[in-house]
């Protein structure tokens, strides 16, 4: 899909300044709503929900940063985006790797106690089995930490989208995005068919759901 869409910098050569800003703002908003839906889909998967969503949020963010750097002349690049994204991705990997190592440690300890039981004829495996509940705690801990991080990232991009819509007076109804969680600030949700979609809330007197 991205191959058939003309790049904003190329289009800019054919448009006046006002149209340039409008075009890049529209493209940026389109990118951000894909990132939001992809992140929230990953968050839902982390909770154990069965979600069929193909976009890779990490790759989408990389693409958005690359585009943003080319648009610096039009002030469409938020330097904080790179720092926040890198920090959160690094934290996600750290949590996943730490929990994986801990789970392997639990399994290894159980295996060792089973081997000891076989050679000593003593029920050492009972000691190993006693640490199995730790794996349940570790799995719960991982889900909690990942969920909060996905939430923070998703909320950050929702806030970015709101700023973009307000600054460039975009029609928020044209940038609806699919969501699987409903605890984000500043959005209005609506069921369309079997799916829930959201738009950015722009009025102060509007509630979070419709």
Q: Mean pLDDT of successive 10-residue segments in the chain (210 residues)?
A: 51 62 84 93 90 83 76 60 82 91 90 85 78 87 93 92 89 92 91 86 56
Q: Crossing angle of helices 57-70/17-46, nearest 10°? A: 160
pLDDT, position 191? 83
Residue spans of the domains in the chain: they are 2-198
Tokens encoding 98:
């730490």
The predicted structure's pLDDT at residue 135:
86
pLDDT at 76: 58
CA 148 vs. chain centroid, Å, equals 10
HEC profile for 33-56?
Answer: HHHHHHHHHHHHHHCCCCCCCCCC
Of 173, 150, 165, 169, nearest in space to 36 by CA = 150
pLDDT tens per residue, range 156-166: 999 989 988 99
d(CA 34, CA 195): 15
Helix (H) or strand (E) holding 58: helix 57-70
Phi, psi of 41 (to 5 degrees): -65, -40
| β-strand partners of 114 | none
Q: Report pLDDT for 1.
A: 42
In this prediction, residue 209 carries a pLDDT of 44
Is the pTM here over 0.75, yes or no? Answer: yes
Residue 37 confidence (pLDDT): 94
What does the pLDDT look like over 53-96, one tens digit per residue?
A: 888 888 888 887 777 666 655 555 667 777 888 888 889 889 99
**pLDDT given for residue 210 in this prediction:** 46
- The pLDDT assigned to 3 comes to 46
């Amino acid at each position: 899909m991205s191959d058939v869409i003309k790049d904003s910098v190329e289009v800019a050569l054919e448009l006046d300044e006002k149209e340039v800003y409008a075009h890049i703002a529209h493209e940026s908003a389109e990118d951000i709503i894909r990132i939001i839906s992809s992140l929230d889909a990953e968050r839902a998967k982390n909770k154990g929900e069965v979600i069929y969503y193909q976009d890779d949020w990490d790759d989408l963010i990389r693409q958005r940063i690359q585009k943003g750097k080319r648009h610096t002349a039009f002030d469409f690049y938020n330097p904080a985006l790179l720092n926040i994204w890198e920090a959160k991705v690094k934290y996600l990997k750290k949590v996943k790797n730490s929990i994986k190592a801990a789970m392997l440690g639990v399994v290894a300890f159980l295996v060792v106690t089973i081997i000891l039981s076989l050679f000593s004829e003593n029920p050492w495996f009972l000691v190993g089995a006693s640490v199995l509940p730790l794996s349940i705690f570790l799995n719960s801990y991982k889900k909690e930490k990942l969920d909060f991080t996905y939430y923070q990232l998703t909320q950050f991009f929702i806030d970015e989208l709101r700023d973009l819509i307000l600054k460039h007076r975009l029609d928020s109804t044209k940038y609806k995005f699919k969501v699987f969680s409903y605890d984000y600030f500043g959005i209005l949700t609506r069921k369309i068919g079997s799916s829930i979609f959201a738009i950015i809330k722009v009025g102060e007197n509007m509630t979070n759901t419709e």
